[in-house]
Structures are given as structure tokens and as C-alpha cells.
Amino acid sequence: MSARAVDIPMRVFASLLVFTILLVHGALLGMTDDEAYYWFLAQDPGLGFAFHPPGVVWLIAFFQKMFGWIFGAATPGLARLPAFICGAGIMWLGLGWVGSAAGVSGRPRTGIAALVIGAYAGVFAAAWMIVPDLPLFLGWMLLFTASWEVAKNQKCDAVSFLMLASGAAIAMLSKYSGVIAAGSAGLAILIWGGSARLHALGAIAAGFVLGILPPLAWNIQNDWGSLMYQLRDRHGGGGFSGVRWLKFWGSQLLLAGPALVFFTGALFAKGITGFRYRKGTGARVLFFVLVWMLPHALVFCVQPAWSDFKPHWAFVVWLPGALYLAFVAAGGAARVWRNVHVAYGLLFGALAILMCHVPLLAWFNVSVLGRNFDPRWDVTNDMHGWKGLRLFLDSAEGGRYRALPVIGSRYQTASQAAFALGDAVGAHRVSFIPRSAKERAEWPESGVTDGFGPAWPRLLKPVLFVTDNRYSAPPAFMQAECGVAKELVAMRWSYEARRIKLWFCSPS
């Protein structure tokens, strides 16, 4: 059954609904620190950057080039447009796979599948942020759906070839962990691809090479900076820790949802106990999903026991589980799993989106519990407050500092300052003092110091130095006098969200 078996109007509606929700939500919020950093790099995109391959930066740069003349360069909705498209694309491809695997037809069943996929809050409640994970998930979905078509039909037509190649390229240009997705697609094709194996594997190989060459070239020129960061620098806390591993599982139960986590575990058990019964369409779907799930689980569910982790790294483990749940739910089965997953996911997703606009954590701690609340505890505060920098510099009070170079205390504050100043970036020469060779490759030389880090250099020209309450270390330039010129306090309702200090520094 082709992917066209799914109800096309409902598939279009579900994808457009995802896009619209993400657009309205994301366009109304300021940028997170990492998003502002990717936007800054997109003003002069290269073959890579300090932490990841260049895919997310290229996407921002492309859409800014296409539409920036209409909406302005520093617009949250435009900067995040690639994320909205990726979110809608994930829904479109997911429903297409359900249709191909189950032969789903009719709006009620397609609607059920859309609800199950969309209720994966770990993905869709965060799909408005332009971060490398979103294009990674899109590349993953392209590989997943195309490798299924090859496995099911045992042929690799032009569409499947293009999807495999583009999926591998997008995944590798997004995050280095895209190699696991490419490997999973290759393994599925080796098992079920029949006479189409070589053709399909060639498509994956071609996409992989196209995707890995740009970051490889960048790493060769920059002392293998981003690869070493991912393989070594990011994984502190080496050694087994049961407490850390329990924290990991707690984070997954919260963010992916208990129903999806336990349903995925049940799939593993079903696959092991039913390994001898691998014939039939239903069995092939199950084992295909397990082939995709197991390699990711072996990496992202085991690694936290031995080193530090980020909760979102494992989201890709539960994605095939969500797709399989959509597959069985669309056929009328697994109703309890479906209902619990959808109820939890939609409630959690709605709450997560609401908290970005309403300071619920501050309200609950201050007004309900009656205790002090540090605004840094609420990560949604990171998207508020930086507009005040541009407003201050445009005011009569801030006019005396308007022409000064702006230096951030960290790459995060420098990036937020650059985005806040928007089209004035070139005039302000926003930068920060690089501490390493790979940072010097990313940040413009402002000409305000006599050298770089790691020690504080001597200041040559007056600057405006920017800190906030998360990265609050004051300036320590050699042979310079620094004082606070202005403190900007951003409020959400009656609660403090961010405190930005502007330091005026001049050579002494």
C-alpha cells in the first residue's frame, strides 16, 4: 500500500496545523541563547562551527536571504521558520509512513494517527526552536520512511533514492549523531531490501558523503574542534553513576511521557519474545521499527549511566515508538496506550507552550508558596528582556554609548546582544573576547584589545560590555576602568525575568 493510502486532506490539515501553531507561538517569543548564537553565525555562514555541523546555520541564512528583505534580518518568526517547516515535515512524513504501513484510509483513523504523533510533546512542544535537533529529526524521518518503502517494495525508485540521499545529507549536516540514523536505514535495507540493496545503499552513501564533507573540512582547519567537543568535551562526569542514570529515566518519563516510554519498552519485549515469528506484514512493521529503535537506544539510553547527558538527546529513541503507536492506534488497537499518551502529551505540550508566555513558575513559587524565586530557575525567562538593549541605546540616555563596540561576557550574551541590535550589528561590531582558535574563527575581530584569551587582554578602545543574571562575571580587562553604565530589568507580569548590566569600559 503506498503512502497515498493515508487520507490526504487530513494529512495536509494536520501538517498545516502544526506549522501554524509553531509559527504563532514562536513568532511571539524572543530568542533562546543558542538560537541567537545560530542566528549570529548565519550572518556569515561557514562550513561548520564550534559545536555542530553547519546545517542549522545554513537554514537560517537561506530563509533570511529569501525573506529578510520583507521581515527584517532579526525577526524571531523568520529565524525560526526552518523549525516550523521541519515540524510540519515530520508530521507529513509520519502520517505518510502510517498510511504506507497500515493502509490507513478515512479521516477518523488518520486523525487518530495525527493525534498520536503530535502528542509526542518532547518533539512538538519544542519544535518551534531553531536548534540542530529539528533538521536532524527531519533527515531521520526521510531516511525512516524511504527505507521502509525500499524494504516493503524491494525496489528503490527515484523518489526513494532522493529521500534516502537527502535524508542522510540533512542528518549529517545537522548533528554527528545522524550517522546512527544513516546506519539504521542501511541495516533495514540490508535485511529487507532484496535486489534494491545496492541502489538504496548507494543513495545513503552519497548523502552521507555530501553531508559530512563540509564539517570535515571545517574540523581539519580548526583542530577538530566540533568533533572533539562532541566526543570528549561534552561528556564530563565519567564513570558509572546510578543516580545520574535514574535522573535520565526520570527526564524521559516527564518529557516523552510515561505511556510512550513504557509502550516502547513493551515493543522491545514483544520483539524479543516473538523473534521466531517474523513473517507477515505486522511482524515486518514491528521488526522494522525495532531495527530503527535499538541502535539509538544502545547509545542514548546507556550513555547517561557513564557521563553527563542532555534529556533531548534521547528523544530520537522514542520517535519510532510514537510512530508505531500511531500505526496500531490507526487500526483501532492499543486504545489504552493511545488515550494515555495523547492525554498526557497534549496536556504537557500545552502547558510547556503556555509557560513560555506566562510566568507560571514565578507565580507558583512567589504567590502560592510564598518563597523567593530566582529567575534563572525558569529557562523560559531566557527568551525575555533583550529588546531592552536596543531600546536603551536608541534612547536619549543611551545615545552616548550608541557608537561603541559591544562585547558580550560570553558567546550567549554576545549573541543575544547582536540579535537585539538587529540591523545595527555591522555598526556596533558585536563580539566577545575569543578564548580558543575555533572561537576566533566565528567571532569578528573588534580591534578593541591587544590580543585574545584565555587571559584577559589589554583594552585599547572604549567598549560597552554586556552581562546578564545568568552570565554575570564582570569585565576584567587589563589597564582599563569599568563601571556599570546601566542596569536593565525585564519583568514578566510583576516578576523579574532578566537583569542585564551594561558596563562602560575605557583604557586607563
For the stretch 429-446, pLDDT in tens is 788 887 777 788 788 778
pTM for the structure as a whole: 0.94
What mean pLDDT is predicted for residues 126-139?
95
Q: Which domain holds residue 440?
A: 381-507
Q: Could you tell me if residue 369 is inside a domain? A: no
Instruction: Note whether 449 and 477 are within 8 A (CB).
Output: yes
Tens-digit pLDDT profile for residues 288-316: 999 999 999 999 999 999 989 999 999 99
Alpha-carbon distance of 142 to 167, in angstroms, equals 5
Q: Could you tell me if residue 423 is inside a domain? A: yes
User: Residue 332, SS3?
Assistant: coil
> Is residue 505 pLDDT above 90, yes or no?
yes
Q: Are residues 427 and 347 in the same domain?
A: no
> Is residue 426 pLDDT above 60, yes or no?
no
Residues facing residue 194 across a β-bridge: none
Alpha-carbon distance of 344 to 260, in angstroms, equals 10
Reported confidence tier of residue 13, pLDDT bands at 50, 70, 90: very high
Q: Are residues 94 and 143 in the same domain?
A: yes
161 Cβ contact partners less than 8 Å away, ≥ 6 residues apart: 199, 200, 203
What letter does residue 364 receive in the DSSP assignment? I
Q: Could you tell me if residue 398 is inside a domain? A: yes
> Is residue 107 pLDDT above 60, yes or no?
no
Q: Are residues 22 and 120 in the same domain?
A: yes
Alpha-carbon distance of 486 to 404, in angstroms, equals 14
pLDDT for the residue numbered 73: 79
How many domains is the chain partitioned into structurally?
2
> Is residue 59 pLDDT above 70, yes or no?
yes
Alpha-carbon distance of 68 to 400, in angstroms, equals 29
> Is residue 276 pLDDT above 80, yes or no?
no
Q: Are residues 272 and 144 in the same domain?
A: yes
Q: Are residues 66 and 162 in the same domain?
A: yes
Q: Are residues 394 and 282 in the same domain?
A: no
What mean pLDDT is predicted for residues 33-52?
93
What letter does residue 418 receive in the DSSP assignment? H
Q: Are residues 307 and 456 in the same domain?
A: no
- What letter represents residue 420's amino acid? A
Q: Are residues 342 and 395 in the same domain?
A: no
pLDDT for the residue numbered 83: 97
> Is residue 475 pLDDT above 80, yes or no?
yes
Q: Could you tell me if residue 370 is inside a domain? A: no
Alpha-carbon distance of 238 to 305, in angstroms, equals 9
> Is residue 4 pLDDT above 50, yes or no?
no
Tell me the average pLDDT of the chain: 91
CA distance from start to end of the chain: 76
Q: Scanning the structure block, which residue is given the C-alpha cell 513558575?
A: 361
Reported confidence tier of residue 144, pLDDT bands at 50, 70, 90: very high
Q: Are residues 310 and 438 in the same domain?
A: no
Q: Look up residue 6 and give its three cell numbers.
A: 493515508
Q: Identify which has the larger pLDDT, 365 or 432.
A: 365
Q: Are residues 150 and 276 in the same domain?
A: yes
Instruction: Note whether 181 and 133 are within 8 A (CB).
Output: no
Q: Could you tell me if residue 430 is inside a domain? A: yes
The C-alpha torsion from 5 through 6 and 11 to 14, rounded to 10°, is 180
pLDDT for the residue numbered 105: 54
Reported confidence tier of residue 1, pLDDT bands at 50, 70, 90: very low
15-29, 142-156, 280-294, 306-320: range with lowest mean pLDDT: 280-294
Alpha-carbon distance of 281 to 276, in angstroms, equals 15
Tens-digit pLDDT profile for residues 214-268: 999 999 988 888 888 887 767 665 688 999 999 999 999 999 999 999 999 999 8
Alpha-carbon distance of 302 to 305, in angstroms, equals 6
Q: Scanning the structure block, which residue is given the C-alpha cell 555542530?
A: 52
pLDDT for the residue numbered 104: 57
What mean pLDDT is predicted for residues 83-108?
87
pLDDT for the residue numbered 272: 76
- 365-391: b or e for each residue (b if 16 or more CB lie within 10 Å)? beeeeeeebebeebebbbbbbbebbbe
- Helices 107-118, 335-357: inter-axial angle, 10-degree rounding: 50
Q: Could you tell me if residue 89 is inside a domain? A: yes
Reported confidence tier of residue 275, pLDDT bands at 50, 70, 90: low
Q: Are residues 186 and 280 in the same domain?
A: yes
Q: Are residues 12 and 137 in the same domain?
A: yes
- What letter represents residue 128's amino acid? W
> Is residue 280 pLDDT above 60, yes or no?
no
The DSSP secondary structure of 6-51, one letter per residue, reads S-HHHHHHHHHHHHHHHHHHHHTS---HHHHHHHHHHTS--S--SS
pLDDT for the residue numbered 281: 59
Provide the 10 A C-beta neighbour count for residue 262.
15
> Is residue 407 pLDDT above 90, yes or no?
yes
pLDDT for the residue numbered 428: 61
95-104, 128-137, 163-172: range with lowest mean pLDDT: 95-104
- Determine what percent of the chain is predicted with pLDDT higher than 70: 94
Instruction: Note whether 63 and 78 are within 8 A (CB).
Output: yes
Q: Could you tell me if residue 196 is inside a domain? A: yes
Alpha-carbon distance of 175 to 52, in angstroms, equals 6
> Is residue 34 pLDDT above 90, yes or no?
yes
Of 356, 373, 400, the residue at which a domain comes to its end is 356
Q: Could you tell me if residue 301 is inside a domain? A: yes
What mean pLDDT is predicted for residues 98-112?
77
